[in-house]
Chains A and B, each alone.
Chain A
Amino acid sequence: MVTRKNSSWWLKIALAVVMSLACGVELAAVDPSKPFVYLTREPLTSCDPAVVVDGTAEQLHGTAYEGLLKYKDGSTELEPALAESYEVSSDALIYTFYLRKGVKFHDGTDFTSDAVKYSFERVKALNLGVATYLKGFDRVEIEGDYKVKLILQEPNVSFIYGIPWIKIISPTAARAHEQGGDWAQAWLYDHMVGTGPYMMDHWDRATELVLKKFPTYWGGWEGKHLQGLVFKVVAEPATQRMLLETGDADMIDQVLVSDIGIIKANPELVYNEEKVLGIQQIMMNTKQGPLADIRIRQAMSYAWDYEKMIAEVMGGHAYPAQGPLDPAFPEHDKTLPIYHKDLEKARQLLADAGYPHGGFTLKLAVVQRLMWEIQGGQMFQEDLAQLGVRLEIQELAWATMLSACKDPAGGFDMCFLSIGARIADPNVIFARGWHTGGVYEWSHFANPELDAILDEALRTVDPGTRRQLYVRAQRMIVDACPAIWVMTSSQRNAMRAWVHGYKMSPVDEFLTNFYTMWIE
C-alpha cells in the first residue's frame, strides 16, 4: 500500500496565518466611551511642564496639569482655574491669588498654597522653558493654605498673561523623587502629577501618550466629556488625513491648504479654521547690504504682492497685516499705512536710491519645506525680476535659520519669519521681534529709543497709557520700514463630525480644552 505524503501541511499553516492577519482593521464607529485619538506631528520631548515650551508640549501638558488661571475657551480673556480669583496691586508688583479648595492632585494629595510656591520656585530655579513667562518674578509668599502672593522685583504687566503656562505640580510627589537637588527633573521627565482632568496611563516617547480620566477631578464628570485621550505621533499629513477619514483618529493638527476642499466636502468630517494671534513678515537687514537704505526697503514693501499671497498662495486662508502687531490686539494702531503692490512706486524708490534698473542681488532665507514661504518667495522673485533685482531663495533648517538670520553678517538680506503669540499680550511680539537682543530681532533694528518705549510699556499699568506707548512703538517701527508685513494667519485643524464641544483658541493653535469636548 502506497502512502502519499501529506504535503499540504504548509498550506494549512499559511491559511491559518492569513486568516489571523486578515481579521482586518475594525472600521471605527461612533463610540462615546472610546478614548479620543488626536494625531500630533511631533513627539512630546518631556512630560515636565517646566522645561519645554513648544506647542506640542503645552498642548499635552494642559491635559494633566493646570495653572492658576487659564484662557477662556475661544477667547483671549483669562478666567479662573486653580485660583478662584486674583488681585493685582496698583504698582503691578504683587499678584494675590485666592486658591480653589477641594482640589486633589493625581497622587491623591491636596492642592494648597505650598504647591503654588513649590511650582513657581521650581520654574524659577530651573530657568528653562516656561521661565520665559516669569520675567521680573521674585518670590512667592504664602498666607494660609489658600492664599498666595506672587511678588515681582519689577513691574511686568504681561506677567498675568503667562500664568496659564506655569503649571502646578504635586510638591509631595516631586519632593519624594528629587535626586541631588534636581527638583525631580529626572522623575518628572516621564511622570505627570497634576490636577488636570486626565492623568497619564502610559507614555511611549517615540509613538504615543495615553491618558485616562482622573476620577476625582475637581471639575467633576457630570455631563458629557471625553473618557480618555490618546496622542499619537504621525508626521505625514497624508497619513493623518487618511486616519481621520477612516475614523481611526478623531482629530488631526495638520491640514494642508490643498486638502481643505476635500475635508470640507466630506460630511463625516469637520474643518475648523480661525484667526490666531501672530504675524508673518519678511525681516529686512537694516544694517548691511542694499537694504540698509530705507528707500530700497520701501521699494521692497511696494514690490510684494500682498493680495496674491493671501488669495493664491494661502488659498484665501490668511488675513492682511498692518504693521508689526496683529490687528486683533486692542493695542493695534489702526491708522498705520498699509502697503499695496505698486511696482512703479517701487521702481521710483529704487531710482531715488541710485538703482533705476535694479542691478543687485538679494538673498532671502525661508524655512526648509515650508511651502507657503517657498511659494511666496518665488512669487516675490518674479516681481523683483521686473525691477532688475535678482532674488536668491535659500531653504534653511530652522536651527540654522535662528543663527544665520540673527547675525547681520550672516549672509541674508531678508528672512521669512512667523511669530505666534501664545499669550494675549503685545509684549510677546515686540520683545521677541523688535527689542534689541530679541530672539527674532532679525532686522537688526537696535533702536534704544524703541527699547525704552517697550520697557516702559511693560511697566505701565494703566491700559490707556500702555496702549499709547505701543502705538508710538508701532509708528516708529513702520516709519523705519524694517520688514514687509506679509499677512496674519489662521490656524486649521480637522476632526470627525462626532466630536463636539471644541472651540478654537485665538491665542494659540495648541490651546485645546479637551475636558469640554465629547463624542456623540
Chain B
Amino acid sequence: MIIYVVKRLLLLIPVILGICVITFVISRVIPADPAQVAAGLDAGPEQVETLRRMMGLDKPLYIQFLIYMKGLSRGDLGRSMRTRQPVMKDIQLYFPATLELAVITMLLYTIVGIPLGIISATTRSPLGDLLTRIFAILGTAMPIFWLALLFQLFFYGQLHWLPAIGRLDTYVAAPSRITGMYLFDSLLTANWPAFVNALRHIILPATTLVLGRLAVAVRLTRVSMLEMLGKDYVRTARAKGLRERAVIMRHAFRNALIPIITILALQFGWLLGGTVLVEAIFSWPGIGQYAILSIIALDFSPIMGIAVLSAVIFTLLNLIVDVSYVLIDPRISW
C-alpha cells in the first residue's frame, strides 16, 4: 500500500509538467498584452515597457518557461502582475476561503444528501421516488447564480436574517490565523464572536452550493442503496433476524459507499476549484475570484499556478479515494 501511495505521488511530477507546458503554451499563444493591462489603461508606452521588463515578458518564450520551471522546483509559482505579489502568497490568501466554503458545503452535502438518499431507498414509496426525481431535476436545472441571487434577495433583502456578502463584518476582527479558515481558526482560538459572525456569513453561499448539487448525492445514494438492498447477503441478514437498521447501515450502506465516496471526492474537487459564480455574488474572496481576475488580465503566473494547484488537488483527492476503497472493502488491494 505504501509503495502504491508513493508511486501515485511520484506520478504528480509528469502531471504537473504536462499542465505547465499546456497552460504556458495556451496563455502565450493568445494575442494579448498583459503588461498593458497590469500597468493600467492610462499608462504610457514607457511605463508598459518598464513593467514588461520587470515581469520578464521581454525574454524569449523558452527562457520564460525555463525560469518558471526553475522557480516551480523551489515552490515559487512566480509573481502576479496584477497584484504584484508572489502567486504563492496570493494563493495563501484566497485558497483558505474556498477551502472553508468547500468543507462546510461538503459537510452539509453529506449530512443531508446521504441520509435523504438512504431514506428514499428504504421507504420504497412511489411518491417518494417521484419527489426524489423532481428534486433531482430541479436541482440540476436551477442555475446556481440564480439560486444565489434568490437566497440573497430573500434571506438578506427581505428577511434581513443573514448578511449578503463577505466572510466577516467589517469591524469584527478576523481570528488569529492558523489555517486561514475563519470558522476553524475561531474555534481553535475560542474566539466566539468571530465564530458566530463567520458562521452567519457562510450559510448562504454554502446552502446555495449544497442545494445546487444535492440531488446528485441523493440520487446516487438511492441508486447505490437499492442495488445493495436487492443482494442476497441482505436477504440473508434479514433472515438471520438482524434489526432493519443494522441491515441498512452495517451491511447495505457500507457496500454502497464506494460509488458515493467517488462522487463526493469529485464534488469536493469541483468545489476546491473555486465556484466562481457563487463567489462573485456573495463577494466571497476565494480562489475562483482570483482565477477569473487573473484570466481576464491574462496574468500568466497565477493562471499557471492555479492550474498546478488544481492538478495537485485532484491527484491527491483521487489517491485518498483509492486508499479509502481499501478501508471500506478489504477485498480491494493495490
> Which residues of A are in contact with B by a Cβ distance under 8 Å?
20-22, 24-27, 35, 37, 42-43, 45-46, 51-54, 57, 126-129, 131-132, 135, 189, 204-208, 210, 230, 232-236, 238-239, 242-243, 245-246, 248, 397-400, 402-404, 406-407, 410, 420, 422, 428, 432, 437, 439
Contacts and interface: CB of A to CB of B under 8 A. Distances in A.
Given A54-B40, A206-B94, A232-B165, A400 B46 contact: no
B200 A21 contact: yes
Interface in B243-285: 280-283, 285
Nearest to A186: B84
A205 B289 CA distance: 13
A399 B297 contact: yes
Nearest to B199: A21
Given A129-B40, A129-B43, A51 B160 contact: no
Interface stretch (B59-67, B100-108, B150-158, B317-325): B150-158
A14 B159 CA distance: 20
Interface stretch (B10-18, B31-39, B234-242, B326-334): B31-39
A227 to B, nearest CB: 13
22 contacts: A20-B196, A25-B156, A45-B84, A129-B43, A131-B46, A189-B84, A206-B94, A206-B97, A210-B170, A232-B165, A233-B285, A234-B283, A239-B149, A246-B157, A248-B164, A398-B296, A400-B30, A400-B32, A400-B298, A404-B31, A407-B31, A439-B36
Shortest Cβ-Cβ A-B pairs, 7 listed: A206-B285, A132-B44, A53-B40, A399-B298, A403-B33, A54-B40, A25-B160
A402 B281 contact: no
A127 B161 contact: no
B37 A402 contact: yes
Given A206-B94, A210-B170, A437-B45, A239 B164 contact: yes
B160 A24 contact: yes
Contact of A54 (B32, B41, B156, B164): B41
A164 to B, nearest CB: 13
B138 to A, nearest CB: 22
A210 B166 CA distance: 14
A400 B174 CA distance: 38
Interface of B: 30-34, 36-37, 39-48, 50-51, 82-85, 93-94, 97, 149, 152-153, 156-157, 159-167, 170, 174, 196, 199-200, 203, 280-283, 285, 289-290, 293, 295-298
Contacts of B39: 53, 128-129
Contacts of A53: 39-43, 47
B31 A400 contact: yes
Contacts of B296: 397-399
B27 to A, nearest CB: 10
Contacts of B34: 399
A398 to B, nearest CB: 7
Contacts of B94: 206
Nearest to A399: B298
A204 B41 CA distance: 24
Contact of A243 (B30, B164, B285): B164
A233 to B, nearest CB: 6
Given A52-B40, A206-B285, A22 B93 contact: no
Contact of B47 (A35, A131, A245): A131
Contact of B156 (A51, A242, A420, A437): A242
Nearest to B46: A127
A243 B157 CA distance: 8
Contact of B203 (A21, A238, A242, A400): A21
A21 B159 CA distance: 13
B21 to A, nearest CB: 21
A25 B47 contact: no
Contacts of B32: 397, 399-400, 402-404
Given A26-B160, A206-B289, A206-B290, 4 more contacts: A25-B164, A54-B42, A402-B33, A403-B31
Contact of A205 (B93, B196, B298): B93
A448 B297 CA distance: 33
Given A21-B199, A46-B84, A246-B156, A128 B51 contact: yes
A248 B167 CA distance: 15
A406 B31 CA distance: 10
A415 B183 CA distance: 48
A234 B37 CA distance: 21
Contacts of B159: 24
B163 to A, nearest CB: 6
A128 B167 contact: no
B156 to A, nearest CB: 6
A374 B316 CA distance: 43
B82 A234 contact: no
Contacts of B161: 21-22, 24-25
A204 B177 CA distance: 13
A91 to B, nearest CB: 23
Nearest to B85: A189
Contact of B83 (A205, A233, A238): A205
A272 B44 CA distance: 31
